[in-house]
Chain A
């Protein structure tokens, strides 16, 4: 809401700089976004009187003028305009002057003749023909009022006022008006609020003989007040009105339309006027639209209405969408002779829904939807009629038609100073509170606060408390530290998550944050088969675009996007991870989807191959205290490399140690070359998809101390030869089983394939550390263990390398 300061001063006499005004209004609750004056962009432009005009010797379209600027010698200015005559008063931009748009004017020579400035047209001053209807559009602006030469042009043209732009919150529709803001201003500056009561002089005839109003749906129309003006004289409105409209950002059109806008800005109540010729039968019917009914709105668009929409109709059909926009034939035209003024109150939510559905939020609908005051409709209409008489815009027909279905009954709130003080932490007396409330138009009746009908945001103690708090000053109120000792700790889950994330960072991974939604194309990018369950995603019904239309069921595409971005930025290596939420639709669509937490990591670069990433995952599992996990090859995927991917899972046993299931912990592997090709990534990328939920649920407890060994260890190295397809995990399992309890640790220190062994075979070299906690192991015990191991291995064709 833009408001010229001088307009507000009609209601409240205050005096301060614009900056101070903005500051104080903001702190009392009417937030000022900006303030500006048109004068700020116009400097050193004065009113000049044309003393003489002679033709330019070297030009057939330019003239040389002598301009009286109120002091010293006249100034010579060359101009190309042809609408000047001696004696005209014109805006003259002198040497070193500034015009809107940052244009600077300096003296110079035009075809050899000195020109000490420029005479200005409307557009050069940032004005239009609507602001000065008597001016010519393509010539110099000639003032039509007597002004002393030398007067600053901004003053002469009414451009020196300051326009303040407020951010009005939805609870205060009363402040979408100069009058409402002036009320706040008066309370803020401690000056009286001087209200204006419209007075309409007696006219002619009787409105009831011309106009009938019928409200068919009183739930959506609380009040409709109509009046008629005959013999309208359509012409430009006076300069003061045009200036005020312009300062509020509203384009002046003609006196009648300007009056409706002026009243809306002054009182906050949208007004409308209809050409009486197009109100068939002289009857206004406020009703719901019929399905499929059509109207062409003032903006020239044909619109199809639906049954829940409220319209203004005549006996033939719709003439306006109630509270939103008028129909095409409902405006004011050059040949209009009789008009109907509307001042009405419609149901806010209904207007909001209609405007939204038709895709046209208007100044009027924006006001109605916040909830206006039906009790104020008549005053606004009277103000409009008063202005008609003031502007001599037509002849007012006596009386109004007022159909009032919902009156706002008086609302009262008991003033409870103790409750308010308790809520605010203040110690104010009842008198101090009343002193704040009265200037805001609240009345006291005993202990009750009587709420004015335009302050329907006031409902209970806390609302009164806010009024008091903002005029005491939020920053003058005490700041206290809460009583009572509260203890807070991170939950086990939060501690666990932090530990996992910090571990990954320690291994060299960078954490990413990506969007939780993406396109369905993401599934194609990772080559997910058509019927894959991950394609079943939560769909956003009103997405910004297809790219962000479904909630991700896997964060892998998001992380691969990051990898691709960094590959394109020529990063030499790219170890990244995201602590990501994935969203799975619930089988019961009425229930919330399932949100699960994952860690998805991916890496490329010389340090990152399959085993490096697998090592990271193994470390994470170890940090999580998870033991007994198993690994198996995963050859199923189209997303993952079928020869370089594994699943890590935790077997689940029942009480009798029977295997009854398994819990998937992670998938580790290289990304399939076809997927990488889709992302345009050349190097091999290894990724891991880790279920943080599963890790947390199966985490180990606090580590328990083991005594340091008292007896020496024995070591044995085993160089083994195995068929290529024998898994290292299988060999390790058999070694562990064969050695039994005395195996302290087992490590694989070499894997060899090549010329020195048979084709189709691989050699694996293990180091075993054997130890017993209660004795020193004999060589015999150790040798026996090795024999058992070798026997176990023989069963799968693994033998000692000769």
Chain B
């Protein structure tokens, strides 16, 4: 009987080691360890053995059962690993194939730049306001110290709807509307479309975008204007950007200034971008004219303020190196796709 057991042990070892797949291993488990298996069959004959032999053979039989069980487990694992490896190898793909990109559109370059500007000004405490593009002459000019015959009106060639209604030439009317509706302190920017009667070419468009800012409070100074705009331009173009302020004239501010920034292309040495000057004109600004404050019922002896106006087209074109304004309004996808 011992011999029979040893034969089972040997046969099982050989067959398990040779089993080619998990199905064969399972068959062997049934054959040797199953209820009707060979080992069980032998154990059923244990009764015939003597009392001395019985524990010895029983122990041996148990040992063999455990051994076969373990071998089967090992072999199963081996085979599973082999099968997994084979599958992994079979599943190899060319990982350098181009990916399937999800569809992704783009905001218009204007909106991307405007978004950044809004963030900068929100961070400095400016609310963003908007208002009508078709405006009363009253708000667009009269209240801004530009009566009907004012020669400065010629610098803003205007589209009229009626004698008293026009397409706003600047977003300044929103400054007036805000000052009429709200008591100081006021800190706003008003971005939006504005209209001037210029034919379309590489640097002109009858429609363009402005962002105007207005601050009115007690003790607001020209130095505050300078400080705020310096912070703004450095946030937009980097800490190394230099700015300078030049005297200028606007009917609605006094003193008035234009702000130049050091040419981002040549860093101020002078190049074709800045026409050799090293400076690029970036915005107009000034202290709100006391007549404008008075028009809005704000006492200039108590309050002061500043205002500025930025051309979004200019900033956008400079930022992306766009050399023709028309591209911005043509909306060719080959153009729009470039501004990720």
Contact = CB atoms under 8 A, between A and B. Distances in A.
Interface string A626-643: 000000000000000000
B159 A515 contact: no
Contacts of B155: 170
Given A465-B255, A474-B246, A511-B106, A540 B159 contact: yes
A551 B134 contact: yes
Given A474-B245, A475-B245, A592-B135, A607 B103 contact: yes
B227 A481 contact: yes
A487 B255 contact: no
B125 A486 contact: yes
Nearest to B200: A544
Nearest to A581: B133
Contacts of A577: 105
A341 to B, nearest CB: 26
A107 interface: no
Contact of B151 (A370, A461, A479, A551): A370
Given A169-B248, A488-B122, A542-B197, A512 B108 contact: yes
Q: Does more than half of chain A's interface fall in helix, strand or loop, or is it mixed?
A: loop
Contacts of B165: 592
A536 to B, nearest CB: 14
B335 to A, nearest CB: 10
A258 B217 CA distance: 54
B151 A540 contact: no
Nearest to A505: B105
A497 to B, nearest CB: 10
Interface stretch (B23-31, B63-71, B81-89, B218-226): B218-226
B304 A170 contact: no
Nearest to B254: A462
Interface in B71-108: 102-108
A692 B246 CA distance: 42
A481 B160 contact: no
Nearest to A462: B254
Interface string B208-247: 0000000101011111101110110000000000001111
B153 to A, nearest CB: 9
A426 B162 contact: no
A510 interface: yes
B133 A516 contact: yes
Interface in A40-72: none
Contact of B247 (A170, A466, A512, A607): A466
Contacts of A31: 246, 248
Nearest to B288: A462
B106 A505 contact: yes
B245 A369 contact: no
A300 B133 CA distance: 43
Query: Which of B106, B159, B222, B330 has the most CB atoms of chain A within a 10 A radius of its CB?
Result: B222
A574 interface: yes
Nearest to A577: B105
A542 B185 CA distance: 39
Contacts of A514: 329, 331
Contact of B254 (A28, A465, A569, A571): A465
Contacts of A28: 247
A542 B149 contact: no
Interface string A746-775: 000000000000000000000000000000
B255 A544 contact: no
Contacts of B193: 516, 581
Report the interface size class on chain A: 35 or more
A334 to B, nearest CB: 38
A494 B128 contact: yes
A513 B105 CA distance: 14
Given A513-B331, A542-B159, A484 B223 contact: no
Contacts of B197: 542, 544
Contact of B185 (A29, A349, A486): A486
A491 interface: yes
A172 B249 contact: yes
A538 B103 contact: no
A762 to B, nearest CB: 30
B159 to A, nearest CB: 5
A422 B304 contact: yes
Interface in B282-340: 287, 289-290, 304, 328-334, 336-337
Interface in A482-514: 482-491, 494, 498, 501-502, 504-514
Given A170-B152, A508-B104, A548-B206, A470 B136 contact: no
B106 to A, nearest CB: 5
Nearest to B206: A544
B59 interface: no
Q: Does more than half of chain B's interface fall in helix, strand or loop, or is it mixed?
A: mixed
A352 B154 CA distance: 10
Query: Which of A353, A423, A424 has the most CB atoms of chain B within a 10 A radius of its CB?
Result: A423
B227 A352 contact: no
Contact of B133 (A426, A474, A595): A595
B256 interface: yes
Contacts of B125: 485-488
A569 B336 CA distance: 13
B22 interface: no
Contacts of A595: 132-134
Given A462-B254, A482-B215, A501-B111, A425 B134 contact: no
A374 to B, nearest CB: 17
Contacts of B328: 513
Interface in A328-356: 348-349, 352-353
Contact of A349 (B106, B149, B215, B247): B149
A465 B300 CA distance: 14
Contacts of A171: 249, 251
A469 B106 CA distance: 45
B224 to A, nearest CB: 5
A531 interface: no
B337 A510 contact: yes
A630 to B, nearest CB: 28
Contacts of A510: 105-106, 108, 331, 333, 336-337
B127 interface: yes
B199 interface: yes
Contact of A538 (B108, B128, B161): B161
Nearest to B337: A510
Given A511-B106, A511-B107, A565-B332, A423 B222 contact: yes
B111 A508 contact: no
Contacts of B221: 422-425, 480
Contacts of B106: 505, 510-511
A562 interface: yes
Query: Which of B105, B123, B227, B304 has the most CB atoms of chain A within a 10 A radius of its CB?
Result: B105
Contacts of A170: 150-152, 154-155, 249
A590 to B, nearest CB: 8
Contacts of B150: 170
A231 interface: no
Given A170-B152, A425-B222, A565-B332, A462 B134 contact: no
B207 interface: yes
23 contacts: A170-B154, A461-B290, A466-B255, A474-B257, A475-B245, A479-B223, A485-B125, A488-B126, A491-B127, A501-B107, A502-B107, A506-B104, A508-B105, A511-B107, A513-B328, A514-B329, A540-B160, A542-B160, A548-B206, A569-B334, A575-B105, A583-B134, A595-B132
Given A474-B247, A511-B108, A607-B103, 11 more contacts: A465-B287, A469-B247, A478-B223, A504-B105, A508-B102, A510-B336, A513-B328, A517-B207, A548-B206, A574-B333, A592-B132
Interface of B: 102-108, 110-111, 115, 118, 121-128, 132-136, 148-152, 154-155, 159-162, 164-165, 167, 185, 187, 193, 195, 197, 199, 206-207, 215, 217, 219-224, 226-228, 230-231, 244-249, 251, 254-257, 287, 289-290, 304, 328-334, 336-337
Closest A-B pairs by Cβ, 8 of them? A486-B125, A508-B103, A425-B223, A349-B149, A425-B221, A29-B247, A169-B249, A466-B255
